[in-house]
Structure 1
Amino acid sequence: MIRILHKAHAQPARADMAVSELPALLAADHDHRAMLWVDLFGDAPTPGNHGESSVDPAINHLLREVFAFDPLAVDDALSETHVPKVDDWAHYLYIVLHAVVFKSDIAQIDTRELDVFLGHKLLVTYHFEPIPALELVWKQAQRDDRYWKRGADYLLYELYDRIATDYMPCLDEIEEVTDQIQDAIFDAPAPEQVTRILHVKRAVLRLRRILSPQREVVNKLARDSYGMVDSKNRVYFRDVYDHFVRLADLNESVRDLVTGALDSYLSVIANRTNEVMKVLTVVTTLFMPLTFITGFFGMNFFGAALDVTQAPLGWTLLGLALLGMVATPLAMFGYMRQRRWL
């Protein structure tokens, strides 16, 4: 799918431009050229063939022939996923962004790549998955002329700022899922919780691998002297950079929470194991003297059997044995309670 937003100087933004009109618009003089935002929604690359066979021929033609972007930059945009980066091609910038969506039901981070070509009064975006931040900025740019007054680089800032804003709900959801896991651990620890904790931890680590390079890309846009970024608009990218710095710090805090949840699970399981072992130890200790007494009187010291059939000797020994078998565990139990072992 190919969408075009066209903004002439004193006219409202138009979304009804035909693709066939692009060559004439691009051929106009730079000072008199209208601003363009072309959004390209392609198919996901097929693994193993660098995505070429799955790309819409119309999109491929636009990028290579109409916009005349460098083949290496086009191949990067059409092929497999890249980490966030920015490449300066003199007349335009090639930028890779990543939007994120957190699927709380399976505790998984879904990254959505957005490839951007930023030129003079030109913004070209390419993606093969829906990106809510892009859709929001696209609709606002149609209604609000202020999005166009500062140039295409300001449109890129608005897009970057919206993507950064969408990271916060993602981190909030991860933190909420972690809190739910911790509550469940203290209520009823189960092996399934370990799997869920590890899934959340993997999501946090993946988010960390995205945030760090994304933050550096914004830092370059805010501080380096790129010809496509107006010096007056760099302050806006510094604001986005501050957002990503805070996001990186929050991500580290969430990672500590996930690690703490795993430690909590191990501690609860260890405590329950200790309780079970204590009960088993107490039972074994209480029955140990009984085993000794029965074993002692079961041995034949004086022949084939110890003759205790004559009263009152037999009944006396039996009573003493039974009394010892009852009194000894009770005494040991009282001693354990006195020492606060139970």
Structure 2
Amino acid sequence: MRILIEKDGKTMVESADLDDVRAALKDQETLLWVDLDGAAPDESRQVLTQVFDFHPLSVDDALVEIHVPKIDDWGSYLYTTLVAIRPDRPLDDIDKSIELDVFVGANYIVTCHQEPVAAIDLVWNNLLHNEAQLQRGSKFILYQLIDALVDEYMQMIDYLDAQVDEIEDTVIIKPDKKMLEDIFSIKRSLLNLRRIVSPQREVLNKLSRGDFEIVSQKERMYFRDLYDHLVRVHEIIESLRDMVSGALDTYLSVVNNQLSNIMKTLTIITTLFMPLSFLTGFFGMNFFSASGQLNHLTSSVSFFLAMAVMVFLPILMFLWMRRRDWM
């Protein structure tokens, strides 16, 4: 747990001093940020219920991971669930995302997460180097957090877009099993990303249209900007899903064409050897021995004539098939 307190233009960072937290809560001129980073559930529950006096239902929601963005109005504070991702890794499983629970009051913000979140570290360091931003209030910190998360979504989209472009460049030349696995991995990543972005877009919509008294008119403008960004992200996701579906159709078409060519080649080979099988089968029958009238069939001339037929007949059939564009 780490604590950031801003008062009278001065920033103080503490590791885990709850007495300072209680004192800051009583002073409306003080801005407080408590980050419960990987804290044990019992410790988090103690801080959320005994120090901040949050409603037990909102605390239960924060301590149980659901990976679905939402927002609830509890009068004096807002509780929202956000979702962070790792932009450089496939999101083929929704459990690979990181849930970020946020409590926002008039002069405080509390973040709760079990795994490190790059967006929190980024905003935290920015505030330490630019103390003027702390004076803009707790909702502005929430805005910065969501903005950093949206940037992660865009990085994930760029990562998936590059993979799709690579697949489209090679799918016709060399389709293989790994490529098919990559296509389905991208499809699952886009689906899970849409499951995150769609409800989070509704969270931003509520924050921007004035559903909550705690959010002022001036602060709604920032959330409206984020809402527009998420709308654009959602549209790009849908476009990428169409591109992936097209790449999958192309892959299946190329594989089917390859299979058709293989079957075509095998059929041609079978057809070329069919007359040879007939000749060898016919003259190989031992129903009778050669009589005086058929002795010429066992002569050297007959042997070489049969061999010539067996050699030149497949060649003639091959040329005939080429002329008819069957090959």
Please state how far the C-alpha of 1:142 moved relative to its aligned partner: 1.9
Structure 2 SS opposite 1:15: strand
Residues 7, 34 of structure 1: 8 Å contact kept? yes
Equivalent in the alignment of 1:8: 7
Give the one of 29, 36, 43 matched to 1:40. Answer: 36
Q: 2:245 aligns with which of 259, 265, 273?
A: 259
> Alpha carbon RMSD of aligned pairs, Å?
2.5
Q: Distance in 1 between matches of 2:66 and 2:322?
A: 65
- TM-score normalised by the chain length of structure 2: 0.89
> Partners in 1 of 2:159 and 2:282 — Cα distance?
66
2:174 counterpart of 1:226: no
Contact preservation (8 Å) 1:104, 1:177: no
Amino acid at match of 1:172: D
Rounded to whole Å, the distance in 2 between the matches of 1:305 and 1:106 is: 78
Cross-structure match for 1:179? 165
Residue of structure 1 equivalent to 2:97: 111
Residue 129 of structure 1 corresponds to which residue in structure 2?
115
Cα distance, 1:284 vs structure 2: 0.8
Q: Distance in 1 between matches of 2:297 and 2:129?
A: 111
Q: Is the 8 A contact 1:102 1:108 kept in 2?
A: no
The Cα shift of 1:213 comes to 0.3
Tell me the equivalent position of 2:22.
Answer: 23
Per the normalisation by structure 1, the TM-score is 0.86
Separation of aligned partners in 1, 2:77 and 2:109: 9
1:243-271 superposed Cα distances (whole Å, 9 cap, x missing partner)? 11111111122222332333233222212
1:282 is displaced (CA, Å) by: 0.9
Matched residues in 1 for 2:244 and 2:255: separation?
17
Map 1:1-342 to 2 at 5 A.
Answer: 1=1, 3-9=2-8, 11-16=9-14, 18-28=17-27, 30=28, 33-43=29-39, 54-57=40-43, 59-104=44-89, 110-183=96-169, 185-299=171-285, 303-305=288-290, 307=292, 310=295, 314-342=299-327
Work out the CA distance in 2 between the residues paired with 1:317 and 1:97.
88
Distance 1:313 1:227, change over 3 A: closer
Query: Amino acid of the residue matched to residue 331 of structure 1?
Result: L
Structure-2 separation of matches of 1:313 and 1:72: 101
Q: Which letter maps to 2:245?
A: T
Structure-2 change in CA distance of 1:150 and 1:103 (3 Å): closer
SS in 1 for 2:266: helix
Higher mean C-alpha displacement, 202-211 vs 108-117 = 108-117
Identity %: 44
Gaps of 5+ in 1: 44-53
- Matched residue SS, 1:14: strand
| Offset of residue 55 of structure 1 | 1.4
Question: Following TM superposition, by how much is the alpha carbon of 1:305 offset from its aligned partner in structure 2, in angstroms?
Answer: 3.5
In 2, Cα distance between equivalents of 1:36 and 1:318? 103
Q: For residues 321 and 35 of structure 1, do their structure 2 counterparts lie closer, same or farther at Cα, with a shift above 3 Å needed? A: same
Question: Displacement of 1:156 after TM fit?
Answer: 0.9
Question: Which deviates more from structure 2 when the two are superposed, residues 320-329 or residues 168-177?
Answer: 320-329
Note the C-alpha offset of 1:327: 3.1
Structure 1 or 2: more helix by fraction: 2
Unaligned runs of 5+ in 2: none
**Cα 1:326–1:16, aligned 2, differ >3 Å: closer, same or farther?**
closer
Deviation at 1:307, TM superposition (A): 4.8
- Quick one: structure 1 residues 318 and 82, their matched pair in 2 at CA, closer, same or farther if it must change by over 3 Å? closer
* CA contact 1:300–1:306 (8 Å) conserved in 2: no
Distance 2:122 2:91 in 1: 26
**Superposition misfits of 4+ residues, deviation over 6 angstroms:** none
For residues 246-305 of structure 1, what are the alpha-carbon distances to aligned partners after superposition, in whole Å with 9 as ceiling and x for unaligned?
11111122222332333233222212211211111111111111222223333468x444
Deviation at 1:309, TM superposition (A): 6.7
Offset of residue 182 of structure 1: 4.5
In 1, the alpha carbon distance for the partners of 2:61 and 2:315 equals 79
Q: Secondary structure at the match of 1:129?
A: coil
Q: Distance in 1 between matches of 2:69 and 2:323?
A: 66
- In 2, are the aligned partners of 1:63 and 1:74 still within 8 Å (CA)? yes
Which letter maps to 1:165?
D
Aligned equivalents of 1:148, 1:21: Cα separation in 2: 17
**CA-to-partner distance for each residue in 1:303-325, whole Å, 9 max, x for gaps?**
44455675699455445433332
